[in-house]
Amino acid sequence: MPEKSQEKPAENWTTALRYISGRKTAEESLGFLAHISSTIRSTTAPADVVPATAKACVPFFASAISLDAPAVHDEPVVQAPDEFAAALSQVRALADSADRPRFVVSDHEGFSEQTDPQLLEQLREWGVGSAVALALEFRGVPGGRLVIVRGPAHRRGPVGPGDLALVSEVADRVAAFNAFASRLPSGASR
């Protein structure tokens, strides 16, 4: 933090509040990631891991989430309130048609140059403010896709670079679980 200045006390307060807010967000993110790791590790039935992970993500981290784990679920596991279910499905279809490992649409300033304004407008029409879709792959074992959407009033705001890093960590953990579950004897994973 900068030194105190008598000339611009308002700037000092603003800097202090941003610093505190950034620390709080970082602490929440680390705690959330520890919770996700614990959920994956401590859920005993393989078929229950992905639903428990999806449930842990909503509403803290996302307004709605869709997770694939083909080793234990034939269909994506969805955790979405009614108001975001259609938007989540549409974003998933959009990400599937884009056929890229990473798909991000957000009005966060960190993504302003990377986000197509037409896609952002389409998200708004669907009632969401930002969306992320990541391919799930761990050591060559494909695992489908993780898709999240956030409503415009989500407590964490639009998805930013820090959120994308956190989504990537969740995706890595689910992809690793899927790779592990794909090696279980058939019948043990479902």
Strands 130-138 and 102-106: antiparallel
Does the predicted model carry a pTM greater than 0.75?
A: yes
**What's the token pair of residue 22?**
């950034």
Q: Give the pLDDT confidence score for residue 59 in this predicted structure.
A: 92
How many Cβ atoms are within 10 Å of 170's Cβ, its own excluded?
26
* Tens-level pLDDT at each residue, the chain (190 residues): 455 555 577 777 777 777 676 677 778 878 888 989 999 999 999 999 999 999 999 998 899 999 998 989 999 999 999 999 999 999 999 988 887 889 999 989 888 788 888 999 999 999 999 999 999 999 988 888 999 999 999 988 899 998 999 999 999 999 999 999 988 776 555 5
Q: Give the pLDDT confidence score for residue 174 in this predicted structure.
A: 94
How many Cβ atoms are within 10 Å of 132's Cβ, its own excluded?
25
CA-nearest of 176, 177, 149, 163 to 28 is 163
Contact between 51 and 78 under an 8 Å Cβ cutoff? The reply is no
How many Cβ atoms are within 10 Å of 157's Cβ, its own excluded?
16
Beta bridge partners of 123: none
